[in-house]
Amino acid sequence: MILVIKLSGKVLEQDKLRAQLCRQIAQLAVDDHQLVVVHGGGKQLTDWSKRLEIPIVQHQGRRVTDEATLELATMVFSAINRDLVASLVAVGLSPIGISAFDGHLTSCRKRPPLSMTTNDSSGHPSNKPIDFGLVGEIVSIDTSVLETFWESGWIPVVSCLGADSDGQILNINADTLAAELAVGLKAARLISVSDVEGIYLDIDDASSCIVELGITETQALLSEGRLTNGMVPKVQTALQVLEGGVGEVQIVSGLKENALLDALEGKAGTILKQDKS
C-alpha cells in the first residue's frame, strides 16, 4: 500500500516527538508499505525570521516570500530535512532526503498575484492583487524518481522547495505538495500529521472532533461555514485529494503517542473517505 505522510514543522521541532514519529514510520516500513514522507517547516521559518529580524508578511495566513525569506527557507528546510533523515536512519531505515525539484519530481511556476480582500488606508475593504513573491505553484508531477528510490529500498523524505523552468527556487506549501504527490502516486492514503487532532466543529471543544466524513458531508460543512478558519484550507486540500482518486485522507495529531499507527486502524483523528456507493 502506498502511503504519503505529511509531517508539520510543529511536530518536528522537538527531538522526542520526531523520534517517536520515526519509530512509527519504521513500523510502517516493516509492514511493507511504500512510503513517502513530506515535511513542512513554517513554524521554524517564522521563528528564525523573528530571530534574524527578517520581516514576516502574510495575507490571510499565506506567507509572502521575498529573497531574504527564501534564502532563510532554504537553510531552515534543509536543516529540518537533515534532522528527519538522521532520525529515520537511527531507527534502522534507509531514507534519502530530497527537495521537490530533485529528479524532476515536480515542475513549478511562480504563483501569479491573487486578488484578495484587504482593508485600505481608511479601513474599508477593497480587492487588490497580492504578489506573494517567490512562492511556487506545482504545474506537473513525475513520480518515477520516487519509484526508483523504492526499488532500491529507500524512503524519500521531501522538503517543500520547488523550482521553475529557469532554475529559480520557490517556496511550496507543504500540504499542497503532499496532496499532489498522493494523487500522482495514486496513494491509498494521505496522513497529515500536525498538532491538531482532527477536524473540529469548534476548535475550543475537544468533543466536537469529527471521526469520519464522506465527500458530500465535507462539502456541506464547507458550504455552510461550519468549520473554523484554520481548518478550511486543510479540508479543501483533502477534498481535492479525494477527488483526485486517493482512497482516504487522515488528519491526526503527532503530539499523541502512536498517532500514525492508530491512524491506520482508524483509531485517531479524522478520516475523510470517498462517498459510499
CATH code of residue 158: 3.40.1160.10
Q: What is the mean pLDDT of residues 177-181?
A: 97
* Same domain membership, residue 144 and residue 28: yes
For the ranges 7-21, 167-181, 197-211, which has the lowest average pLDDT? 197-211
Q: How far is the C-alpha of 112 from the C-alpha of 89, rounded, in Å?
A: 39
The C-alpha atoms of residue 111 and residue 172 are separated, in whole angstroms, by 10
Q: Which domain holds residue 132?
A: 2-187
The answer to whether residues 119 and 200 belong to one domain is: no
Tell me the pLDDT band of 235, cut-offs 50, 70 and 90: confident
pLDDT at 156 over 70: yes
Beta-bridge partner residues of 62? 59
Q: Based on the fold, state whether residues 240 and 152 are members of the same structural domain.
A: no
Do 29 and 147 share a structural domain? yes
pLDDT tier for residue 64 given thresholds of 50, 70 and 90: very high
| The dihedral formed by the CA atoms of 217, 219, 224 and 228, expressed in degrees to the nearest 10 | 90
Position 178 pLDDT exceeds 70: yes
The reported pTM is 0.92
Work out the pLDDT band at 138, boundaries 50, 70, 90: very high
The domain boundary residue, chosen from 163, 187, 211: 187
Question: Do 227 and 168 share a domain, yes or no?
Answer: no
Whether the per-residue pLDDT at 174 is higher than 80: the answer is: yes
Query: 265 falls in which pLDDT band (50, 70, 90)?
Result: confident
- If asked whether residues 44 and 140 sit together in one domain, one would say yes
With contact defined as beta carbons under 8 Å apart, do 192 and 175 qualify?
A: yes
The number of domains in the chain is 2
Give pLDDT, residue 249. Answer: 95
- The mean pLDDT of the chain is 92
Asked if residue 47 lies in contact with residue 14, where contact means CB atoms within 8 angstroms, the answer is no
Over 70: is that where the pLDDT of 118 sits? Answer: no
- Whether residue 86 sits in one domain with residue 19: yes
pLDDT at 67 over 90: yes
Give yes or no: residues 128 and 221 share one domain.
Answer: no
User: Which range, of 27-31, 59-63, 142-146, 269-273, averages the lowest pLDDT?
Assistant: 59-63
Rounded Cα–Cα distance for residues 197 and 209 (Å): 8
Q: Are residues 271 and 180 in the same domain?
A: no
What's at 234, amino acid-wise? K
**122 shares a domain with 235:** no
Residue 119 has pLDDT above 70, yes or no: no
Do 178 and 232 lie in one domain? The reply is no
Residues 20 and 115 in one domain: yes
